[in-house]
Amino acid sequence: MWPFGSSTKKEDVVSGETISTTQITETTPEVSAPQLNISAIPIFDASKLHPLAGLDKDLEYLDLDEEKLSNVEGTGNGILPSRGWSDDLCYGTGTLYVGGLGLGGLYGLNQGLLNLPPGSVDPVTGNIKSAPFKLKLNTVLNQVTKHGPHIGNSAGVLGLLYNIIDSSLDAYRGKHDDLNSLASGALAGAIFKSTSGTKAMAYSTGMMTLAAAAWCGFKRAIN
Amino acid sequence: MSTPEADHSRDPCPIVILNDFGGAYAMGVIGGSIWHGIKGFRNSPYGERRIGALSAIKARAPVVGGNFGVWGGLFSFYDCSIKAIRKREDAWNAILAGFFVGGSLAVRGGRKHMLNSAITCAIFLGILEGVGMMFQRYMAYANKPVPMPVPDGGAAPLSA
C-alpha cells in the first residue's frame, strides 16, 4: 500500500481518525525527507508497510566517509594507511624485526672485523702469514649471524607484544590515543622481562614506556 | 598470487615486504609458542612442568619466528623484484622466488647445498601454486553461471 499519491481512497477508509489524511498528504511534500519519521504518524502502521524497509526501527546512520579504513576513534594518523589491527601488527612487528636485524648485523659486522683471526708465524722462517680469506669471512659472518637475529628476535617479540596489547586496548576502550600506547609499551616491557626479576622488569618497563612516548611524539611531530 | 585482478587486500609492492616480514614472524612466534610450550611441558619432570614450558617458549619461540620471518620476508622481496623485472604476475613468479629463497638461505652450505635447497623450495612452491590453481578452477566450476531455463509454453519471441 503506497502512502503517497492516493489521498482520495484513504480518506474514506480512515475518516474517523484524529489526524485526517488530507492534512498529511498536504504536508508531506513540504517536509524535508530526513526529518519525516513515518512510523511516528499513527495512521501508518509500520508493520503493515513494506517489511524490508525497516520502518519500525530507529534511525540508521550511514558511513559516508568512505576514505576511512577504520571506525575506531583516533586512528588514521599513522605513517602508513592501516586496515586495522592485523596491518598494525604486521607492519609494526616487521619494521622492528627488520630494524633489529639490520642494527644487530651492523654490530656483528663491527665485532667480526675487530676480532679477525691473527696470522700464523711460520716456525722455520719467522714470517707472519696472514689468515686465509675464507677464515676471515667466516669469522665476520659468524658474528653477523650471531648478533643480528638475536637483536632482531628480541625487537620483534617486543613489537608483537606491544601491537597485540595496543590493539586490544583500542578495541576495549574504543579509541586509539597516546594513553593506550604508553600503557601497552609498559605492559610489553614488563612481560618481556617477566622472568628476570623485579629490577630487570622495572628497567624494561621504563625503557619501553619511553620508547612508546617517543613514538607518539614522532607521530605528532610529522602530522 | 596469480589472480588477474588487482588484489586490494595487499599493499603495493615495496612496502608489502615489511608486512610479510611481520606477518610471517608473528605467525612463527605464535605457532612456536604453542609448539615449544607443549614440547617443553611434556619433556620436563613433574613439578617443573610449567617453568619448563615457559623457558622452552622463551628460548625457542623467537627463533622459530625469526626463521619464519626471514623466509617470508625474503620470499616477498624476491617476489616483488621478479614482478618488477618481468612485469607480469603468474605462478612462475612464486616458483622463481622460492628458488631464490632456497638458494639464499643455504648460501653458507656450499654450492651443491644451495642448488638442492633452491630446487626443493621451488618444487614446494610449485606444488602450492598448482594446488591454488586447481582450487581456483574448482571454485569457478562449482559457481559457474547457469543459463536461464527456457519457458515451457513454446517459443514466444518479443516480436510485436
List the domain boundaries for chain A.
Answer: 86-155
Return d(Cα A144, Cα B108) in angstroms, integer.
Answer: 13
Q: Is the pLDDT of residue B74 over 90?
A: yes
Nearest-CA distance A2 → chain B (Å): 31
Its ipTM equals 0.77
Mean pLDDT of B100-128: 92
| Average confidence score pLDDT of chain A | 77
Which amino acid makes up residue A221?
A
CB pairs under 8 A between A and B: 69
The pLDDT of A75-101, averaged and rounded, is: 82
Q: Which pLDDT value is given to residue A117?
A: 83
If one compares A146 and A35, the residue with the highest pLDDT of the two is A146
pLDDT at residue B90 in the model: 85
Residue B107 neighbours by CB distance under 10 Å: 12
% of residues, chain A, pLDDT over 70:
65
Average pLDDT (B45-55) is 88
Give the cell for residue B69.
620471518
Q: Residue A27 corresponds to which cell in the numbers above? A: 504536508
Q: Is A6 or A160 the better-scoring residue by pLDDT?
A: A160
What is the average per-residue pLDDT within A51-57?
Answer: 65
CA distance A193 to A202: 9
Q: Is the pLDDT of residue B160 over 70?
A: no
Considering only the beta carbons, identify the residue of B20, B22, B29 that sits closest to A92: B22
How many other CB atoms are found less than 10 A from the CB of residue A145? 15
Confidence category of residue A63, pLDDT binned at 50, 70, 90: low
- Is residue A78's pLDDT more than 70? no
Residue whose grid cell is 619432570: B45
User: Cell 620508547 identifies what position?
Assistant: A211
> A60 or A115: which carries more pLDDT confidence?
A115
Query: What value does the mean pLDDT take over residues A69-96?
Result: 76
pLDDT at A14: 44
- Is some CB atom of chain B closer than 8 A to the CB atom of A90? yes
User: Would you say A202 and A217 are in contact if contact means Cβ atoms under 8 Å apart?
Assistant: no
Q: Which helix (H) or strand (E) holds A120?
A: strand A120-121
Chain B CB contacts of A195 below 8 Å: 54-55, 58
Q: Hey, what's the cell of A139? A: 669469522
Most confident of A70-79, A171-180, B107-116, B149-158: B107-116
The three-state secondary structure class of B5 is coil
Is the pLDDT at B113 greater than 80, yes or no? yes
pLDDT tens column, A187-219: 999 999 988 889 999 999 999 999 999 998 988
What pLDDT does residue B101 have? 93
For residue A154, the chain B residues in CB contact (below 8 A) are 62
Q: Which of A85, A153, A158 to mutate to test the interface with B (most CBs of B within 10 A)?
A: A153
% of chain B with per-residue pLDDT over 90: 54
- Give the best residue of A98, A139, A147, A161 to mutate against chain B (max B CB count within 10 A): A98
- Give the model's confidence band at B114: pLDDT under 50 very low, under 70 low, under 90 confident, else very high: very high
- Whether residue A8 is predicted with pLDDT greater than 50 in this model: the reply is no
Most distant CA pair in chain B, distance: 91
* Predicted pLDDT at A7: 44
pTM of the prediction?
Answer: 0.71
Greatest Cα-to-Cα distance within chain A, rounded to the nearest angstrom: 128
User: Lowest mean pLDDT: which of A121-125, A167-171, B111-115, B135-139?
Assistant: A121-125
What's the mean pLDDT in A158-162? 93
How many angstroms separate the CA atoms of A203 and A188, rounded? 12
Q: Which helix (H) or strand (E) holds A129?
A: strand A128-129
pLDDT(A22) > 50? no
At A55 the pLDDT is 63
Per-residue pLDDT for B120 more than 80? yes
- pLDDT for position A125: 83
Closest-CA residue of chain A to B51: A195
CB contact under 8 A, A94 and B58: no
Nearest CA in chain A to B64: A153
Q: Do B15 and A80 touch (CB under 8 A)?
A: yes
A45 pLDDT above the threshold of 50:
yes
Q: What is the mean pLDDT of residues B8-36?
A: 89
Res. A31: pLDDT tops 90:
no
Mean pLDDT of B81-89: 90
Q: Considering only CB atoms, which chain B residues are within 8 Å of A141? A: 108
Which ranges of chain B does DSSP label H, i.e. alpha helix?
13-42, 49-86, 91-105, 111-142
Q: Do A195 and B54 touch (CB under 8 A)?
A: yes
A85: nearest CA in chain B?
A: B23
Which residue do the cell numbers 596491518 mark?
A: A87
| Mutation target vs B (from A69, A96, A97, A141; most B CBs, 10 A cutoff) | A97
> What's the gap in Å between the CA of B134 and the closest CA on chain A?
28
